[in-house]
Structure 1
Amino acid sequence: MKLAAVGSNCIDFYSNIEDGKAYPGGGPVNMAVYTVRLGGQSSYTGPVGDDEFGTIMRKAIAAKGVDISHLHTESGKTAVSQVELLDGERVFGDYDEGVLADYRLTGADMDFICTHDVVVCDLWGKVEGQFPELQRRGIKTAFDCADRPEDEASQVAMPHSDYLFFSSEAGDTVALRDQMKGYHSRGPKLVIAMLGEHGSLCYDGKEFHKFGIVPCDKVVDTMGAGDSYIAGFLLGITDGLTIDQAMEKGAANATETLKYFGAW
């Protein structure tokens, strides 16, 4: 698989570790890195600032083998998320989107993205309005709604997403399944709910597929676990695995990420 990750990136700044520790991240960036980790190819298209964090981000992404030929440096600040780690769980604080605030794909970016197998963006990526054009041009589209599928950006992307992901802590309930059916009726081919310790659920328009978790001996940090699942699932489904096999691949990839600090 060749994945085009577009949109949001950010420095995850852990204020309660070693007097402050900065880790490069952001959903699409993470997915690009995890795709390479799994043996696929990926690129990241998006903006960073011309500050120290932008330099850190650029070098770190490139070092992981991700194509950064369309990573743009803009005048201003790189996006930063304030994070605290409490008992292995991440707690998010303030978020400054910096140069992402006015981001939009250029024509050259769109041409480049369409040389890939699938493009993925998330809720904060700013390009949901360009998904119709990407889908019209024939590339498979994936969107991560995080835990906010009712937000405007998610609703805009939903009809133009082949693979729609969102997170929920509710577990497998009748209400969740009805919610997924409603989302599927709006256009996605597959709707995937990531349920944390309850595993994941996928609806293909006819039936539900359910997969649990791959056990982890010790959870160090949950940062990036959902992004890992998405990368594994997309690689699996693009490479011809069944839905159930792709779900298992996503779950196994998520478990690897639980074992260390930061997204990667």
Structure 2
Amino acid sequence: MAHSRFDVLTIGNAIVDIIAPVGNGFIEAEGMSKGIMHLIDADRALDLYARMPAGKRQISGGSAANTAAGIASLGGRAAFVGKVANDALGDFFEQDLHAMGVHYSTPRLIDGAPTARSMIFISDDDGERTMNTHLGACQQLSEADIVEDEIGGAEITYMEGFLWDPQEAKKAFVRAAHYAHKNERAAAFTLSDPFCVDRYRAEFLDLIRSKTMDHVYANVHELKSLYQTDDLGAAVREIAKDAELAAITMGAGGAMAIHNGEVVSVPAFAVDKVVDATGAGDLFASGFLLGMARGQTMDSALRTGCLAASEVISHIGARPQLDLAGLARTHGLAQALDG
């Protein structure tokens, strides 16, 4: 097998995040469920954008793209596949990824839906995020955008469960896994959201049990939803039977990984204040994926993931603001980045 071109290639929705802090009164007045991602149409997107408070910030986002940005910040070789339109937000998204050192070459959508955008309201009492997302162009990702040379050149290909909504993206997801396995590489995915799991539980379980997906990433709520249990221990026992490798985030409780019946847990890194929980899971995945891609122990990979997550929750926005490679060296985790 040839030396890999990328440590990790991620595939997901290419979205520009527009972020604003708000009080709980705004969330209630707009009829939103706090802490949930709401899918909205173009009209609602324009209306809501017009009423976003002053001080909003624009950052390129999307779960898997955030993970790719984190991997690049850790010194890893990252690539991203996702669809934007041929518009100003598409330009912004592409320039942002390239500036971070992420390989990104997915062809633009011409004469179609606009680039996706997610308006993220950060509650000023607890940092919880409430998202309103118009998916636009990113839902037009298709099998034609999945390039075997790119997938085959990545140690791990990592995909987001949100891709399972559009039919064409679902086909792209499966094709990417096929190319990964054809080239003796690992295919991984994140369950993304408890409601995503509710919609596709049987299909997600089939992806895992059929070994289409080798590695599974989830938080506690998503894992419990997958197995329809309130008992974390029971859910861990089930995923241990079904998946080759599972990585589970537990918020302030840290994270665990399950591989060949072995369960390894690490504590979270302490932070002074959780400013914005957006991207915690995405950045955990950055550290853990890079550690796995470079042959590190599960303990080391988990710690790197938790460290990356601790950085991103200490400020607004789902992309790292500090050099994560430098942060890892400060915490004695540089060995996780060698490769």
Structure 2 length-normalised TM: 0.70
Q: Does the 8 Å CA contact 1:143/1:157 hold for their aligned counterparts? A: no
Larger-Rg structure: 2
What amino acid is the match of 2:234? Answer: D
Distance in 1, Cα, partners of 2:237 & 2:139: 32
Whether 2:263 is the aligned partner of 1:208: answer yes
Closer, same or farther: CA 170–35 of 1 in aligned 2, 3 Å: closer
CA-CA distance at 1:168 after TM superposition: 2.1
Secondary structure of 1:57 counterpart: helix
CA-CA distance at 1:99 after TM superposition: 1.4
Q: Which deviations, in whole Å up to 9, do the C-alpha atoms of 1:214-242 show, x marking residues without a partner?
A: 11123222211111111100111221221
Whether 2:87 is the aligned partner of 1:37: answer no
- Equivalent pairs counted in the alignment come to 262
Q: Post-superposition, which runs of at least 4 consecutive aligned residues in structure 1 deviate over 6 A? A: 170-174
Give the root-mean-square deviation of aligned CA atoms. Answer: 2.5
Distance in 2, Cα, partners of 1:31 & 1:165: 12
Whether 2:182 is the aligned partner of 1:144: answer no
Q: Which deviations, in whole Å up to 9, do the C-alpha atoms of 1:173-215 show, x marking residues without a partner?
A: 98223223323433x2111211111111222131321111011
2:136 aligned residue:
98
CA-CA distance at 1:155 after TM superposition: 3.6
Which range moves more in the overlay, 7-16 or 223-232? 7-16
What amino acid is the match of 2:189? Answer: F
Whether 2:121 is the aligned partner of 1:84: answer yes
Q: Structure 2: any 5+ residue segments left out of the alignment?
A: 1-5, 22-52, 164-168, 320-339
Which range moves more in the overlay, 129-138 or 195-204? 129-138
Distance in 1, Cα, partners of 2:131 & 2:285: 24
Q: Compare the two structures and name the one with the higher strand fraction.
A: 1
Distance in 2, Cα, partners of 1:232 & 1:97: 27
Distance in 2, Cα, partners of 1:110 & 1:156: 23
What amino acid is the match of 1:71? Answer: T
CA-CA distance at 1:259 after TM superposition: 2.2
Distance in 1, Cα, partners of 2:142 & 2:221: 32
CA-CA distance at 1:7 after TM superposition: 2.1
Closer, same or farther: CA 90–22 of 1 in aligned 2, 3 Å: farther
Which range moves more in the overlay, 161-170 or 252-261? 161-170
Q: Compare the two structures and name the one with the higher helix fraction.
A: 2
Secondary structure of 2:83 counterpart: strand
Q: Does the 8 Å CA contact 1:203/1:209 hold for their aligned counterparts? A: yes
Aligned with residue 120 of structure 1, among 139, 144, 158: 158
Q: Structure 1: any 5+ residue segments left out of the alignment?
A: none
Q: Does the 8 Å CA contact 1:222/1:258 hold for their aligned counterparts? A: yes
Whether 2:286 is the aligned partner of 1:231: answer yes
What amino acid is the match of 2:239? Answer: Y
CA-CA distance at 1:132 after TM superposition: 4.2
